[in-house]
Amino acid sequence: MGDLTFIRDITLRGILEDAIEYISALYKRSKSIDENALYQQETYRVIILYVISAIEAILFYFYKTRKESMTYTDYKFVSPLLPEYRHSERTDAPVVVAVQLKVEKDDHQIGLHDLVQFFKEKGLVRKETAEDILEMNEVRNTFHFNKPRSQEKVCDIARVEKALGLLLHTIENAPRALSTR
């Protein structure tokens, strides 16, 4: 699939190598046996889950290795104004005054969407690649049973091969992203 030596974290590299080996085995098996359509579609869904999870892990590794940070806006010391102050469109809600702060996100608050947008804005992920990754993430999210599984998000061999191409692209371009600051 590609060389992961750019990942200096040996534990993470091992996990990714195992995941890629599993992805490869699933992919070969899904193509070589004559299973019913549901089995194949669910196998493809597992492959996409692993592929997007691997891409997310690599992007998060970049983020940490490059010592990047993301922030969000938080509001502290919120104080309501007197009841006669009302917003013209939301007269049922109180108007407040607050101190607006930029707060650094904790690691657990950073998801794939954040990472893709962040690196796209830095020019390290092309717009088309970012869109493709986020599209595959929508497919990955169909693993949640409460998410609809529409025809638009069907898991077929073409989608799996596109996801595998994204993973290969991520691995091949990773070393350059690590050296660019």
What pLDDT is recorded for position 147? 62
Q: Both 114 and 88 in a single domain?
A: no
Which H or E element spans position 10?
Answer: helix 10-32
Q: How far apart are the first and last CA of the chain?
A: 26
What pLDDT is recorded for position 47? 94
Q: Both 19 and 49 in a single domain?
A: yes
What pLDDT is recorded for position 146? 64
Please calculate the CA angle 166-172-174 and round it to the nearest 5 degrees. Answer: 95
Q: How many CB atoms lie within 10 A of CB 4?
A: 16
The answer to whether residue 2 sits within a structural domain is no
Q: Both 59 and 21 in a single domain?
A: yes
What confidence tens digit (pLDDT) does each residue in 114-129 have? 999 999 999 989 999 9
The answer to whether residue 1 sits within a structural domain is no
The answer to whether residue 3 sits within a structural domain is no
Q: Does 81 have pLDDT greater than 90?
A: yes
| Number of folded domains that form the chain | 2
What pLDDT is recorded for position 37? 76
Bridge partners, 86 (sequence order): 94
Mean pLDDT of 34-49: 84
Higher pLDDT, 70 or 153: 70
Q: Both 64 and 128 in a single domain?
A: yes
- CB distance 167 to 55 below 8 Å: yes
Q: Does 2 have pLDDT greater than 70?
A: no
Going by pLDDT thresholds of 50, 70 and 90, the confidence category of residue 38 is confident
Which H or E element spans position 169?
Answer: helix 157-179
What confidence tens digit (pLDDT) does each residue in 87-100 have? 989 989 999 999 99
Output the domain CATH number for residue 33. 1.20.120
What residues make up the domain containing 93?
Answer: 72-103
Going by pLDDT thresholds of 50, 70 and 90, the confidence category of residue 63 is very high
Q: Both 86 and 123 in a single domain?
A: no
Which H or E element spans position 97?
Answer: strand 96-104
What confidence tens digit (pLDDT) does each residue in 130-173 have? 999 999 998 887 766 666 666 566 778 889 999 999 999 999 98
Q: What are the backbone dihedrals phi and psi of residue 136, each rounded to the nearest 5 degrees, phi first?
A: -65, -30
The answer to whether residue 89 sits within a structural domain is yes
What pLDDT is recorded for position 150? 60
Q: Which letter, b or e, does each residue of 47-62 get, where b requires 16 or more Cβ atoms within 10 Å of its Cβ?
A: bbbbbbbbbbbbbbbb
pTM of the model: 0.84
